[in-house]
Structure 1
Amino acid sequence: MAILEIQHLKKYFETPRGLLHAVDDVSFRLEAGKTLGVVGESGCGKSTLGRTILQLIDSTDGKILFEGNDITHAKGKTLREARENMQIIFQDPFSSLDPRMTVSETIREPLKLSKRYTKEEVESRTERLMETVGLAERLRNSYPHELDGGRRQRIGIARALALNPKLIVCDEPVSALDVSIQAQILNLMQDLQEERKLTYIFITHDLSVVRYISDEICVMYLGQVVEKSPAKELFVRPMHPYTKALLSAIPIPDITAKRERILLKGEVTSPVDPKPGCRFAARCPHAVEACHQPQVLAEVENQHFVACGRVHEMLE
């Protein structure tokens, strides 16, 4: 059963150069208990997609269906109830925490705001959450600046788990951490998913991480999904030229080995619609034409979807 269904979701931003197509006609279904990895280069719209799904920013067009209910334009009580089941773990565990709140206060806050628990229940649940994510009791009165990155991210995870959500958007949750700490956090998240039957949208630019944790992977370029397939299949049989270029950039841990890099010529498709007379229009002669031609995902193999469009022209 699909816990989340996204239909032709769009998010455009007004800029001096016109409309920026941050998320441009994205559609997918996510089954309960699964992990969908979203990968792509910086600026491709990954984080904007996650925040739009959670309605931290309003969508321009399209539909967001959570457990069959349309929450695209939910407000007030309806949105509040939906957000109890949809949480986020932010990329930077330092800037996403209030520096004036202790560990226990941060974890306790969503429990207090929900107004569903007594004072004693709030305290006991806070203690259990700290234990669940591996935070020692002695840290309950510590402030974020007194902790390392791994512990700070554990606070963010505990806060996201506080109200027992069903879906968590993980916005590059390990990119700011050391490699050894990354492994600990990823293992913790997998254990939590198994114990609590959680569903993840895992946003990252680290292909090795997304291969390890995901069931399915979406590859994004210029706000659009250009390829979607099971995780193992994507690395064995990448089909879209951009996916092949992305995978060719993965470093090989062998100084004697050489990998043939697929270089991009440049952005044939621009995420900006130039206004008439705009001085930037000449840099991208296909901008207006290409931006209004959404990539159509076609199923070329079982559960393996690839987009068709002019993006192929950008590769040598």
Structure 2
Amino acid sequence: METILEVNNLKKYFPVGGRTLHAVDDITFSINKGETLGVVGESGCGKSTMGRTLLHLHESTSGTIRFKGEDITKVNKKKLSELRKEMQFIFQDPFSSLNPRFTVYQTLAEPLEIAGGYSKIEIEEKVYAMMDTVGLARRLVNTYPHELDGGRRQRIGIGRAMILEPDFIVCDEPVSALDVSIQAQIINLLLDMQEEKQLTYVFITHDLMVVKYISTKIMVMYLGEVVEFAETEELFESTLHPYTKALLSAVPLPDVDAKQNRIVLEGEVTSPIDPPQSCRFCARCKYAQDKCRKEIPPLTEVKPGHMVKCHFVKEINKM
């Protein structure tokens, strides 16, 4: 399969009062064309920062991001502007990400106008075609964001991202601000568009059931690091990292009478500001030993395609 995105040793640090916040720390992965990589973890783990860094909305501290073989961390502004037609972002909050002074038509037409090369007739045709694609009634073409509900606003956001026909899209919690019934509609819309156009997604969320439904592979993040990476079915059937086990134990079961062994994490969260040379999860891990407090565990392939960042993963899971 064609690899569309290859990320190696990606880091994004922020200066904070003379110290350094390790928002994204040494992340490596690749995605093939037509796949969806689900990225999960608690708030503040670096998911959104990573997503923005992938599209160069944040400049990376170090590492490489190869899109279709080209390292976008080293391209000039002109080349980056050209690449933006192929790489797009769907934001979490459909209200704050839309210009309140723009109608639906103006919002969808803006990317085409910025890209250039389209006549007014072509822009109009593309805008109405995209409204049909994302399920927006044409009668809404002159409405403003405040006149629409959250689901329709997010359809506008999706249409804006899709109208230049990109190959790669970062979806940053695109359904978290929506009602459950609307969430399903938006997820199915994204899946339909992916199937039709062979799109590649990075889908960022904290909802494990959503990511199970939409993703090909899943990457679990904790305080800026990847702690587990596997194909979706493998990760849910054979969860290996203690943190991922805790996340899954918190997911409500559809059977209300079924017993669920909830894993409650105790201890203090390690600060991502100048973090110690140790496992970042060890302060909350019941399996932690001295080695965990003194050495950073490597991200190791413990099964084919299944990576885990834990010194004692084999002992914990008795593999």
| TM-score normalised by the chain length of structure 1 | 0.90
Any conservation in 2 of the 1:167–1:200 contact (CA below 8 Å)?
yes
Any conservation in 1 of the 2:22–2:275 contact (CA below 8 Å)?
no
1:274 & 1:238 partners in 2: Cα distance?
26
Give the partner amino acid of 1:61.
Answer: S
Any conservation in 2 of the 1:87–1:167 contact (CA below 8 Å)?
yes
- The offset of 1:263, in angstroms, is 2.1
**1:184 counterpart residue number:** 185
- The offset of 1:253, in angstroms, is 3.8
Give the partner amino acid of 2:302.
Answer: V
Greater CA drift, 72-81 or 25-34:
72-81
**1:278 counterpart residue number:** none
**1:264 counterpart residue number:** 265
State the superposition RMSD in angstroms.
2.3
Any conservation in 2 of the 1:171–1:203 contact (CA below 8 Å)?
yes
Residue segments in structure 1 that go unaligned for 5+ positions in a row: 276-282
1:291 & 1:113 partners in 2: Cα distance?
51
- The verdict on how the C-alpha distance between 1:150 and 1:22 changes in structure 2, with shifts beyond 3 A counting, is same
- The offset of 1:259, in angstroms, is 1.6
**2:303 counterpart residue number:** 301
- The offset of 1:188, in angstroms, is 0.6
SS at match of 2:102: coil
Any conservation in 1 of the 2:25–2:225 contact (CA below 8 Å)?
yes
- The offset of 1:291, in angstroms, is 11
- The verdict on how the C-alpha distance between 1:140 and 1:56 changes in structure 2, with shifts beyond 3 A counting, is same
Residue segments in structure 2 that go unaligned for 5+ positions in a row: 277-282, 285-290, 315-319
- The verdict on how the C-alpha distance between 1:198 and 1:292 changes in structure 2, with shifts beyond 3 A counting, is farther
**2:24 counterpart residue number:** 23
After TM superposition, the structure 1 = structure 2 runs for residues 191-202 of structure 1, keeping only pairs within 5 Å, are 191-202=192-203
1:132 & 1:122 partners in 2: Cα distance?
15
SS at match of 2:84: helix
- The verdict on how the C-alpha distance between 1:90 and 1:212 changes in structure 2, with shifts beyond 3 A counting, is same
1:119 & 1:15 partners in 2: Cα distance?
47
- The offset of 1:118, in angstroms, is 1.2
- The verdict on how the C-alpha distance between 1:126 and 1:291 changes in structure 2, with shifts beyond 3 A counting, is farther
SS at match of 2:101: coil
**1:48 counterpart residue number:** 49
SS at match of 2:118: coil
Any conservation in 2 of the 1:10–1:23 contact (CA below 8 Å)?
yes
**1:120 counterpart residue number:** 121
Any conservation in 2 of the 1:17–1:272 contact (CA below 8 Å)?
no
- The offset of 1:17, in angstroms, is 6.6
- The offset of 1:274, in angstroms, is 7.5
- The verdict on how the C-alpha distance between 1:294 and 1:95 changes in structure 2, with shifts beyond 3 A counting, is farther
1:6 paired with 2:7, answer yes
Give the partner amino acid of 2:307.
Answer: F
- The offset of 1:163, in angstroms, is 0.8
Greater CA drift, 122-131 or 17-26:
17-26
Any conservation in 2 of the 1:225–1:295 contact (CA below 8 Å)?
no
1:273 & 1:130 partners in 2: Cα distance?
47
2:293 & 2:198 partners in 1: Cα distance?
39
**2:69 counterpart residue number:** 68
- The offset of 1:311, in angstroms, is 11
Any conservation in 1 of the 2:240–2:313 contact (CA below 8 Å)?
no
**1:251 counterpart residue number:** 252
Give the partner amino acid of 1:303.
Answer: G
- The offset of 1:310, in angstroms, is 9.1
- The verdict on how the C-alpha distance between 1:290 and 1:55 changes in structure 2, with shifts beyond 3 A counting, is farther
Any conservation in 2 of the 1:4–1:65 contact (CA below 8 Å)?
yes
**2:216 counterpart residue number:** 215
Which string of whole-angstrom CA distances, capped at 9 and with x for unpartnered residues, describes residues 114-149 of structure 1? 012111111111110111100111000000000000
